[in-house]
A = this chain, B = another copy of it.
Amino acid sequence: MKLATIKDGSRDGQLAVVARDLKTAQLADAIAPTMQALLDDWDFIAPQLYDLYDQLNAGKANRAFDFDSKKCMAPLPRAYQWADGSAYVNHVELVRKARNAEMPESFWHDPLMYQGGSDDFLGPNDDILLASQEWGIDFESEVAVITGDVAMGSSPAQAAEQIRLLMLVNDVSLRNLIPAELAKGFGFFQSKPASRFSPVAVTVDELAGAWQGGKVNLPLRSTWNGKLVGQPDCGVDMVFNFPQLIAHLVKTRNARAGTIVGSGTVSNKDPKKGYSCIAEIRSLEMIEHGAASTRFMQFGDTIKIEMLDGNGKSIFGAIEQTVKEADPA
């Protein structure tokens, strides 16, 4: 099924079921008020939502309304955990190569993962408000899963059973803040502003055969200022699948319901597949020409991130946003 969170002025919005074709939706308020409420009690609530989803797809829902992604918050507008992996190691190797840094061999078998802020996620069409374009504004197109409760020490197989929903992510990064921040040794902080998510989250059965081996085997399309710049296949060159990423997360602690785990920037070794973040094309330019010629995002730039099924239909709806200058606090 497909789910969204509709803006209503509250912090958590209202949970809605969205039709498979993304044309209509119905509030799920009689079943569960919010996405977190669903995740807290999935086994009891999800079957009721599946029933509503079937009615909606059959045109038999009694309070259906036209679905509009502009009225969506992030599916989980605030979460108790956001942990982002770097499963496409090719991307990591490329970026390091561009700055003449060797990538440790261990990166091929020990996942990179950072803990991100999760208190203020933004919706699919909300502006990307930032105070300075000197920070090196970049998009990062990713896939993420939302989990149920995962116990400390769970294996990848145990973790796989707790994958509840899939989403797309724009993990906005401030490239010019990263080197100094990582040099301090404590990881990303100011270089990672609020992340943004697709209009809808979907259960894995929505992907049918495209969900295989704990990966999404479909291209992720990134369109920057109206130009398609990347369409790498998310199932290709993903060195760690989602169950492995979750198992890495829970080595020393539990992960509780509503944990979001990201894939990291999707990247294929085949350069014809384009790029899912500007840092990658700039790295390629550095390696080939000794200097990067593609600029980072400027105020007014747009970014669209979408995934289509085998019939060319949007699965998650599109993240479609404009970068704008933030007003002072």
Contacts and interface: CB of A to CB of B under 8 A. Distances in A.
Interface of A: 11, 40, 78-81, 83, 86, 104, 106-107, 110, 112-120, 129-131, 135, 151-155, 158, 174, 177, 182-194, 248-259, 326, 328-329
Contacts of A194: 253-254
A186 B184 contact: no
Q: Is the interface of A mostly helix, strand, loop or mixed?
A: loop
Contacts of A190: 248, 251-252
Nearest to A191: B252
Contacts of A113: 186, 189
Contacts of A153: 131, 326, 328-329
A193 B252 CA distance: 6
B78 A78 contact: no
A26 to B, nearest CB: 26
A119 B256 contact: yes
B187 A120 contact: no
A115 B112 contact: no
A179 to B, nearest CB: 11
A110 B209 CA distance: 49
A154 B329 contact: yes
Q: Which 3 A-B pairs have the closest CB atoms?
A: A187-B187, A80-B119, A153-B329
Given A78-B256, A104-B183, A112-B184, 13 more contacts: A11-B257, A80-B119, A81-B118, A81-B119, A106-B184, A118-B118, A120-B254, A120-B255, A151-B329, A155-B329, A190-B248, A190-B252, A191-B252
Contact of A115 (B106, B116, B158, B185): B116
Given A40-B11, A120-B254, A193-B252, A186 B326 contact: no
A252 B329 contact: no
Nearest to A258: B119
12 contacts: A112-B184, A113-B189, A114-B187, A115-B188, A118-B118, A151-B329, A152-B329, A153-B328, A182-B185, A189-B249, A190-B251, A193-B253
